[in-house]
Structures are given as structure tokens and as C-alpha cells.
Amino acid sequence: MTANERPISQTRAFFSPIGRLRMLAGDPALDFANTLHWREGVEVDFLPDYRALNDWSVPARLLREDERCILVDIARVHPQDAHAAHRAAIALRNAWRQNLAQRIGSWSLYSPESKQAAPLAPLLTSALGDPRLLISPTAGASEKEPHVLFLPVARVALAIASLELIPGDRKLGRCEGDPCGGFFLNNSRSKPRRWCSMDSCGNRAKVRGFRSRFVAGEVKDRDR
């Protein structure tokens, strides 16, 4: 059973002040890309600040709750460093989304077209460049160690690098809902997955299709 086939109650989600964002992509790297999300025809950013990035990382399984609490305390003391970490995360997200969008036609994550994609590698290298974030990053962390605030960025970068660099039979899909365009891993065993979720974009597409057919039928009836 894939993420979009699970009951709604079993789907992981980020509950933010602007609403719920379900994690339907099948991989945290793609869930990160989808934090810039279309809702009711408007593009919504679910990571408007560092606190949101920090909170989102827990249901994304990139941070533990105890790590999140430590980062909250450090961010209060070092708001400028927290802001810098947030900017780094958004820059990484923008490059990652562009990278994905440029090769969506191949339907393959492991593709030669990646060489023509956005300059993702320098951002990943920068995010993973601090060894202090890779070995017990919050052990004994205190308000005197603001570098720890970049931990969510490093974890996201690690997820992206894992998806990018480890070959596997993993197909990339993008929701056909207009204007959703959410990314996901297409693990469907029968027919290609077309929607981020059948109970949202899939149902809306079916309703639009029904209305179009209904209107077309009405016009034909009038012409008879």
C-alpha cells in the first residue's frame, strides 16, 4: 500500500498554523519539495520561518522531538543564525524543486538529464560540510553553539543526496492536478500514479471531467 492509498488517519502530516500538510510523496526529500504547495489556487509556503522548518522536520522523520526542543531554545538566543539556517533551507528547496521539474519528463530520478539541472551539488556540499552536524550534533549542545541550528538543513540535504546518488528502480511522478504539481515516488504496481492523493486532486479531476462531459452532452442535446 502506497502513501496515497493509506487511510487519511494513517498518513503522516505536518500541522502548521496555516493548515495541515500531508506527507504523501513517499520520501522526505520529495516531501520537502512539496512544502511549497498549491492550495485553492494559491501557492502556500509551509516553511515561512525557522520554527516551521524545525517543526516540519519531526513528522518528516528528519529530527527527533528532543532535537527539535534543543533547537527551539538555541534559536531564541541566536535569531540571526536561525534566520540564516532558514534561508539556506529555502535556497536548497528552490534548487531541488527546479532540479526535479527539469527532468520530470524522464520519470526517472536516476537520469543523465540531472547534469543539466539546477546547481544542486554546491548547496548539498555546503549543507553537509560541517562534520559537527554529522556526529551526535546535539549532544551537549548549548546556546553557545548556534551552528547546531543548521541541523534540519543538513538532514534534508542528506535525504536529497540519498535519493539522488543511490541508484535504484525509483520512478518520479508529479501530480497532474492543476495547479498542484506535487512530487512523489511512483511505486504503483498496476497503473502509473497520477495524483498526490485520490481523495483530493484525484477527486477534483474526476469532478471536472464529469462536469465537462455533462456540459458537452447538454450542448449536443440542444443541437439535435
pLDDT tens, residue by residue, 51-63: 999 999 999 999 9
All 3 cell numbers of residue 33? 519539495
- Residue 21: helix, strand or coil by DSSP? strand
Mean pLDDT by 10 residues, the chain (224 residues): 46 92 93 88 92 98 95 96 97 93 62 60 94 80 89 97 80 80 80 68 54 50 51
- Residue 171: helix, strand or coil by DSSP? strand
Query: Domain-by-domain residue ranges, the chain?
Result: 3-223
Contact 129, 114 (CB under 8 A): no
Report pLDDT for 3.
42
Report pLDDT for 121.
92
The domain made up of 3-223 has a fold known as Jann2411-like fold (1.10.3300)
Report pLDDT for 10.
67
Going by their DSSP bridges, the two strands 36-39 and 19-22 should be labelled as unpaired
Phi and psi at residue 47, in whole multiples of 5°? Answer: -125, 65
C-beta neighbour count of 119 within 10 angstroms: 10
Distance CA 96, CA 90 (A): 10
Report pLDDT for 215.
52
What is the reported pTM?
A: 0.80
- Residue 74: helix, strand or coil by DSSP? helix
Report pLDDT for 210.
44
Kindly calculate the radius of gyration of the chain based on its CA atoms and give it in whole angstroms.
Answer: 20
**DSSP H/E element including 183:** strand 183-185
